[in-house]
Structures are given as C-alpha cells and as structure tokens.
A and B are shown apart, each in its own frame.
Chain A
C-alpha cells in the first residue's frame, strides 16, 4: 500500500497537484498498480547483467550545423509569446 505521504511526494516529482479527495482516489489506484508491478520484485535476476539498453541503437550522426525550424512556426503553438520567445510571468524583480 502506498501511503498518502508517498502519493504527495510523487505528485511533487511529477509536477502535478491533487485535491484531498483526489489524493485518496490516487492512493487507492496507485496501490493497485504498485501491487501489480511488484510481481517483478521477487524475480531472480543475475546481478552481473548490465541495465544497458540492448535494443538496436545505431551510431550517432555527425554534429553538423543545419537549419532549424523557423522560430515563428514553432512559436505558433505557444499559449503566450513575446519578443519572438515563449512568454511566462516575471520570475525575478529588478
């Protein structure tokens, strides 16, 4: 069972927030999910094995200077933009 404190901790790690009522619901469903995935905890694996991803990984490309996408096209989807940049509220006073 995942505790309410743990739910709050992983909410913070995930940049999410929840009301008290949602917290209780999340505690229940996350505990069910955790119980399900915890089946792997007891599996016996050789400790020598590396966790390196063995799925096909090809060579990296050369680091070449290339044109990027036009800034105005990328900014088109921003909820707020200013001075050709993404706009957010002021973070620091002068």
Chain B
C-alpha cells in the first residue's frame, strides 16, 4: 500500500489537499499493524485512533483551519506519557499505570495535530540494546524477523521500517534511538541534551536521557524535532536556546569532517569497514576535507556511561515502590516488605542488575573511585570533543560495529550487550546532538547507519550536513 510508505510531511500534504482522507490513512496503518503483528513492535493500538481520524476529516469537510501535522499518525515509545493511556516502560511492574497527564512532547505533537496510534515496544525501563527484555515479549527487526530490532527503542524503529506509522518517538540514553534506527534502516536523532523537554518521560538516567523522533526521511526528522523542542517550565534542564528552522536545510558545497583516531583504530577489526571507507571516498571526491583528531578517553566512554547511567537509574527507580503506582506484591505483610517484595518481584533481571551496580558505584568506599571519577572523565571528554568542533563542521562515525544480530545470540555476560553502544554513548556523555542515517548495506543486505555529530545546539547544521551526505548516498547530488 503506497499510503503507508509516506512520511509525516507527505501524508499531511495529501490529507490537507483532500487527496486522501485521514480515515483512509489511519485504516491503512491499522491494517499494516495487524499484518505485521509478528514483529511485536506495537504493544497496544489505541481504540480512539479511528474516531480521531474522523474528527480530522470532519474539520476538512467544514473547511476549518488545519494544524501543520493535522491527521498524521504516530506511535509512541512506552515510556512517554499520553494522558489517559497506559505507559509502562514494558515492565510488568508498571503494567497498570495510566498516564494522568501528557508529556510535554505529546502536548506539542497534539497541538500540531498528530494522531496517536499506539504504544511501541521497548527494553524494560529502556535498559537494553535489543528489545528482547520486554514484559510484552521479544520485538523483531522489520527487515529480518530472526534478528533483533536493536534497543531500547526497538519497537519505535521496527514500526517505522515496517510502515506501521508515519513516524515514532523514542528515547536515547546511550544510543537507544540511533542503534535501532541503524538496524532497521531508518533515521533517528538524539538531540542536544536540554533541547527537548523530558517532562513526562519516565526517567532512566536524567542527565543523559533525551527524546527524539524516528522517521522515514530527514525532512520529517527535522520537522518533528522543531515541533518538540524548546524551553519547558516543567523541566529545568530544558534549554532556552533558540529553536531554529531545522527543516530548512542550508547546505554548503563542501564540508570539513572530523574523524576520531580511536574510532579508526577500532574500525580496523570491523567487517563493515569497506562501507564506511567508500562513504569517505565519495565525500572526498566531492571536495570535502577530513580532520583527524585523538580523544584518548574514547575507549572509556562505555565504562563512564555505565557508571553514570546506573548511578542515576538507582536513584530514579527508587520511586517504584509498590505504594504510589506500581504493582504491590501480594506476599508483603508490612511496609518494608511492600518495598522489598514489590521491587524484587516487579523489576526484570537486567533492571535489577543495573540498580545494583548503581548502588555499588555510589556506595561508601567506592564513590570516589567510580562515580566521582566518571564525572571528572565526562567533563574532560566534553571539553575535548567540543574543542574538535572548532576545526570541523561535524564528526562522522559508524552507529554500530555491525548489522542487527540474531535474537538470543548475546551470551550470559551482560557486558556483551553493552558493547553494542561502543560508538553511541559519546554523544550522551558529552551532551552533543547525534543523528543516525542509513548509509549502506552489510551482511545479508541488512542496513548500516552513519552517525553525524555537531556541537551542542547545532541541530540546524547537523541536519544540513546529514542531508548533504544523505543526498550523496542516494545519488541525488553526485
């Protein structure tokens, strides 16, 4: 069905020009969701989606003024609150939670006319890189169901690739939007920390979490980010920085790209290296220059990330106690047992491990060696990376070392899964924006992603550079 192949802007245009009704669009997506049920990307379809679509058609019929994205259907990750709908972080502990208010991003999308189709599957509490750890069951890659869709926003990425919505929202703490986007051949951005309000996003690691769109094309990504960005009085870490017109790409003839020596060193042993080499060659042929730089601490990004994120998670997940909104253990006899048993029965294995590691790195005797050290390294890394942008427009690096892996192929050691984020955590630790764009094919013709990073709050430049590369790869400006 051609309708569901279209992105956000194309769909809005068709509906607004009365070439297709909103009901037809929503019905087409609902049909796709049903047909691709085996993906397990969507954990709930909202009953009111069709009636919302009919309301839009009514407005169009009456020639009422339409909002920019009036009638565009989207699917939302299960950790972002939509008033009156369930939001459970794919955790059995939170399975009964109904959102009492809209997240700021949802309010903004609603104000732009977006229709919410349903909730996307994810790793429990956004902790994972494969969406195998959800209480709703394993989610599958849209392009090869024997493989993982990546994670934690696996459902959001798989849903976009399988055309189950015009676009989706995900959240990215260490790569959770970009890695699944790469594995499913779609576009995913982690904005600058502070660009998008986190109000109504169930927190994992508050100083690293950002919400971002996953889309079928770059224009949609830029437009959606434009809409959801901005200062919010409900999130004191949201920035007052001006939200520019990200979707008006301002392409230069050539660019100067930064390449990290430590990434190149890692690439030597990676089978997908030829794909990235060929992109560099094509950029060079266009007249682009490359600046090589070294960040010695690059190899420490993952350990730094796991110290900081688990420390924050331990604190953030303290609120899930079987009293206020999570399931209460039937075996608890007193208040202390309510906490102990509800949490022990409610949280999944990986979530518990991370809470425990977080408590460990924060505990007396270890705080200086781990948390304090990681904070200092984060500061140094941020200083080093932001300085790199004085001598180049953007930094390029792969999103993942390889294509999506087979379901169940990661062993018992939790660290095996952590290595998935080897190229993505640097953007979260340093706060800079990073986008993953599809850049070629690896093993079994499966997609690979290229990350483009710019300095903080340079999303406009980021999109311009990304669209330059995207057009080159598609052969549009050759």
Contacts and interface: CB of A to CB of B under 8 A. Distances in A.
A67 B135 CA distance: 36
User: Secondary structure at chain B's binding surface: helix, strand, loop or mixed?
Assistant: helix
B335 A88 contact: yes
A49 B377 CA distance: 9
A77 B353 contact: no
Contacts of A41: 369-370, 373
A6 B359 CA distance: 11
Given A26-B356, A37-B370, A77 B97 contact: yes
Contact of B100 (A17, A18, A45, A77): A77
Contacts of B379: 49, 51, 54
B220 to A, nearest CB: 26
Contacts of B340: 15-17
Interface residues of B, number: 74
Interface in A70-86: 73-74, 76-80, 86
A64 B299 CA distance: 46
Interface string B337-370: 0111101100100001101111111010000011
Nearest to B296: A43
Given A17-B340, A88-B338, A89-B335, A43 B373 contact: yes
A51 B375 contact: yes
User: Secondary structure at chain A's binding surface: helix, strand, loop or mixed?
Assistant: loop
A15 B329 CA distance: 14
B86 to A, nearest CB: 10
Interface in B309-343: 314, 318, 321-328, 332-335, 338-341, 343
11 contacts: A10-B356, A16-B343, A16-B344, A18-B344, A43-B300, A45-B380, A55-B193, A55-B382, A58-B238, A88-B335, A88-B338
Interface of B: 96-98, 100-101, 192-194, 207, 231, 233, 236-241, 297, 299-300, 302-304, 306-307, 314, 318, 321-328, 332-335, 338-341, 343-344, 347, 352-353, 355-361, 363, 369-370, 372-377, 379-380, 382, 412-415, 418, 431, 456
Interface of A: 2, 6-7, 9-11, 13-18, 26, 29-30, 32-41, 43, 45-46, 49, 51, 53-58, 60-61, 69, 73-74, 76-80, 86, 88-89, 91
